[in-house]
Amino acid sequence: MRGRIQLLNLRQQTLAIIVLAVIFLFGMVISGILIDADKLSVNLAMKNSAPSLDHLFGTDWLGRDMLSRTLKGLTLSMGVGLLAASLSAGIALLLSLLASWNKQVDYLVTWLIDLFLSVPHIVLLILISFAMGGGMKGVVIGLAFTHWPSLTRLLRAEMLQIISAEYVGVSQRLGKSRWWIARQHLLPHLVPQVFIGFILLFPHAILHEAAITFLGFGLSTEQPAIGVILSESMRYLSTGMWWLAFFPGLSLLIMVALFDMLGKNLKRLLDPFHGQR
């Protein structure tokens, strides 16, 4: 009885954390979408204002409200992360299924994983983004083609374990095709892992988007991205305008931490082995 109460409490705590994280992230997105253009317009009469009740995050050198710019930047980063993580998860699922075809394809997939993991991550991301012309398209493609290897390795290991199961051998002896086995046996087990991997890819994609945008290889400077905001604020830090970098950077870290917390708690909730602890 005591063990059941502890298990119930653990699940309740996990669900509570998931719900709170989703509500907070949803609130960020809605706030960023609902902000009108007036909040982002230039107002030289209010330039370089420190944080106050009227402007919680202060204003920049053009009098633009930093809270509005930060929320817009977080919404933009979340959109980029959504596209990139979706593409990466799709690539990982496709390659893990192809690895089950035969040993030659499995060897090719393993070689690709090792190749991409052997190159410094940020360097490869910058090269792909630059080769694709930068901007939104370059960043999304660069993130998608650099964040799939770790998830593919995990899905491949899960897939190999499933293939060795007895019920899969029975299906093979009954003459079922590879695609039938993949659809009926592999996909139902891999899809939950792909979903968790997709959530966990989010924080990495968002941070790396902000990093390459900060370095000048990412999104356009005309867009209110967090990387652009942080890059522009560097030249004003020496004048004492600390809020230009502090609040956007802190907001980015909070959003990344929430996504990471959401992914880990979803994994704990869906994984029967973790759920029994």
d(CA 195, CA 200): 9
- Per-residue pLDDT band at 8 (split at 50, 70, 90): low
Beta carbons of 214 and 249 less than 8 angstroms apart: no
The string of pLDDT tens digits covering residues 175-185 is 777 777 777 77
Write the CATH number of the domain with boundaries 76-261. Answer: 1.10.3720.10
Q: Is the dihedral of CA 20, 70, 217, 231 positive or negative?
A: negative
Q: What is the pTM for the complete model shown?
A: 0.78
Q: What is the CA radius of gyration of the chain?
A: 23
Q: What is the mean pLDDT of residues 159-164?
A: 78
The string of pLDDT tens digits covering residues 13-54 is 777 777 887 888 788 778 777 777 777 777 777 887 888 888
Beta carbons of 109 and 157 less than 8 angstroms apart: no
Structure tokens at 267: 């994994």
Structure tokens at 128: 């792909």
d(CA 23, CA 29): 10
pLDDT at 214 over 60: yes
Report domain extents, the chain: 76-261
